[in-house]
Structure 1
Amino acid sequence: MAGRRRWTSEEILDAAADLLRTSDAESFSVRKLAAALGTDSSSLYRHFRSKTELLRAVADRILVAAMDGYRPRGGDWRERITALALRLREAFEGQPQLAAVWGRHASGGNGSRLVMEEVLQALRESGLPDEEIPARYHRLAVLIASLIASEAAVRTLTSEEYEQGMELFRVAVFGADPERFPALAHFARDVPPLGADRPAAFEEILAAQLDHIEAAIE
Structure 2
Amino acid sequence: MPGTPRGRRGSSVTARPKLTADAIVQAGLEVAAASRSGVFSAKELGEKIGADPTSIYRHFKNKGHLLQMMLDELTARCVASVTAPPEEWRDRLRQLANTTLDEFCAHPSVIMELTTLTTHGPGEADAVELVLDAFTRAGLSSSEIVQHYALFSLQLISSATTIARRRSEEHGADLADDTDAFRAWFDAPHSLNLSKHPRTVELSAQIARLDERDLFRRGVEAVIESAESRVVPDRVTGAS
TM superposition score category, shorter chain reference: 0.7 to 0.9
- Name structure 1 gaps, 5 residues minimum: none
CA spacing shift, 1:44–1:203, aligned 2, 3 Å: same
In 1, Cα distance between equivalents of 2:152 and 2:31: 31
Deviation readout 1:111-164 (Å, 9 max, x if unpaired)? 2122111111111112222244233212211111112112222332454999xx
In 2, Cα distance between equivalents of 1:102 and 1:215: 36
CA spacing shift, 1:79–1:68, aligned 2, 3 Å: closer
- Of 198, 202, 208, the residue aligned with 1:182 is 198
- Of 66, 74, 89, the residue aligned with 1:62 is 74
In 2, Cα distance between equivalents of 1:112 and 1:76: 21
Larger Rg, first or second structure (1 or 2): 2
In 2, Cα distance between equivalents of 1:71 and 1:191: 34
Residue aligning to 2:37 = 24
Residue aligning to 1:169 = 187
Residue aligning to 1:129 = 141
Residue aligning to 2:27 = 15
Residue aligning to 1:217 = 231
Aligned length: 210
Aligned-residue offset at 1:76: 4.1
In 2, Cα distance between equivalents of 1:51 and 1:160: 23
Q: How does 1:20-169 map to 2 (within 5 A)?
A: 20-21=32-33, 22=35, 24-25=37-38, 27-30=39-42, 33-34=45-46, 37=49, 39-68=51-80, 70-73=82-85, 76-100=88-112, 104-157=116-169, 159=171, 169=187
In 2, Cα distance between equivalents of 1:216 and 1:28: 43
* C-alpha contact 2:36 2:172 (8 A) present in aligned 1: no
> Could you tell which deviates more after superposition, 83-92 or 100-109?
100-109
In 2, Cα distance between equivalents of 1:33 and 1:74: 38
SS at match of 2:61: coil
CA spacing shift, 1:90–1:69, aligned 2, 3 Å: closer
Deviation readout 1:171-204 (Å, 9 max, x if unpaired)? x15x2121232222222332226xx422221121
- Name structure 2 gaps, 5 residues minimum: 1-7, 174-179, 233-240
Tell me the TM-score normalised to structure 1 length.
0.77
CA spacing shift, 1:199–1:75, aligned 2, 3 Å: farther
Task: Supply the RMSD in Å over aligned alpha carbons.
Answer: 3.4
Tell me the TM-score normalised to structure 2 length.
0.71
In 2, Cα distance between equivalents of 1:16 and 1:113: 21
One-letter code aligned to 1:7: L
In 2, Cα distance between equivalents of 1:204 and 1:42: 44
Identity of aligned residues (%): 21
Aligned-residue offset at 1:78: 2.6
* C-alpha contact 2:36 2:106 (8 A) present in aligned 1: no
Aligned-residue offset at 1:80: 2.7
Residue aligning to 1:205 = 219
* C-alpha contact 1:59 1:98 (8 A) present in aligned 2: yes
